[in-house]
Structure 1
């Protein structure tokens, strides 16, 4: 949608756009794209090819473009290729961005691997990995979600204890199956039960509420 919006904005600024290009991002132009004859003029004048295979890239290709080649790099060559890119970017303003790109590519390609394995593939330290955007967005979010879920679970356990004590006073002894059902309730249901039990007059009311 963002691409469409930018295109529309450009069209509004100029009635006629003559100097436009199509960018094709591919492993290599040597792939079989079909017979080019019908669109040969279009290909020669309007298409900008960005090839990802290292063997098809110019020696002075932008480092971020070279980094995208890691998407199709063989696994056994990945660490060496990443280390070479990081060496080229060392001491430049691009170093941090390049490190983030490499980390994101490694994480997306090998999401089932351990963090030390991912670091070895990307040629980065665990400290650098933990400071990357990919780590913070994926692993950091998971940690925050885990803490939130743990807090909610703890609150639910505490609420269940209070509700069970109140139910015993209001309805008498609670049988084991009902107790298990109550302890398994999420926090919002426990809060609803705590409010509803104020109107209970016996065990039948609890049974009816649980059945609902």
Structure 2
């Protein structure tokens, strides 16, 4: 299950989600933006960074790591990357915080003794999704995170509940986003089922109306362009024009692929591949 992209989309849609997991969130939590950053010499890519408003300098930067597989050198990597980024941008930030998100305590690396001071401080926050409580009692966006950890036997029931709840609590455009995220989570969770089979299991059929698709495609395209600009810099006009022609499915595929891009050449190569495999009309 490709949870990295799911959590990336969750944080992009609702940056405030990270702070709902913390006991003492910053007072300007609603003004933070979620981003990925590059640190050169040596080269690090940090995908989960929450940046304070640029007009509030110095601010507090939050590093976030979502870890669903055991990694016995996770803290070594996270602290090395975070400290280096903080060092390179010291004039912008007054402090840093790190949030580690695990499905359960058993996924955390075993050897934590060298980091005992940090892990027991108020700068590093460890969140275990299976300990957050009843999924139906959690804020909507937190509940979506927890849905990724729910056992397959229980997942369809909880997914249907979240869809019904979203239709009551959220405006139409947000409701569409939540339904799509629920669908994405369930498709990844039940990899042996097709999207239509998952829709049938949940008792829904997404309305592929012009309005729905325009909202979905425009939101996806805007998100992709922001991610590409932050990762690769200014995107040449011919590439922008080509991206404007991509279908919703192709945009979603680009959203997955760009996490591995390191240069405009990677983007150009990906776009050329799309042209090659797109059937002629």
Q: TM (normalized to structure 1)?
A: 0.50
For residue 249 of structure 2, the aligned residue among 137, 142, 156 is 137
- More helix per residue: 1 or 2? 1
CA contact (8 A) 2:152 2:189 kept: no
Report the number of matched residues.
145
CA contact (8 A) 1:86 1:99 kept: yes
Larger radius of gyration: 1
Q: Cα distance 1:139–1:126, how it changes in 2: closer, same or farther (>3 A)? A: farther
Q: What does the per-residue CA deviation read over 1:10-32, in whole Å, with 9 as the maximum and x for residues that have no partner?
A: 76775274432112121023545
Matches within 5 A, 1:160-171: none
- More strand per residue: 1 or 2? 2
For residue 126 of structure 1, the aligned residue among 182, 185, 205 is 205
Matches within 5 A, 1:93-132: 93=171, 94-121=174-201, 123=202, 125-128=204-207
> In the alignment, does 2:151 pair up with 1:39?
no
CA contact (8 A) 1:29 1:49 kept: no
CA contact (8 A) 2:103 2:129 kept: yes
Higher RCO (Cα < 8 Å, 6 or more apart): 2
> In the alignment, does 2:38 pair up with 1:4?
yes
Q: TM (normalized to structure 2)?
A: 0.40
RMSD over aligned Cα atoms: 4.2
CA contact (8 A) 1:70 1:81 kept: yes
Q: Which runs of 5+ in 2 are unaligned?
A: 1-34, 40-45, 55-60, 62-85, 221-246, 254-274
> In the alignment, does 2:204 pair up with 1:92?
no
CA contact (8 A) 2:187 2:194 kept: no
Matches within 5 A, 1:193-204: none
CA contact (8 A) 1:119 1:129 kept: no
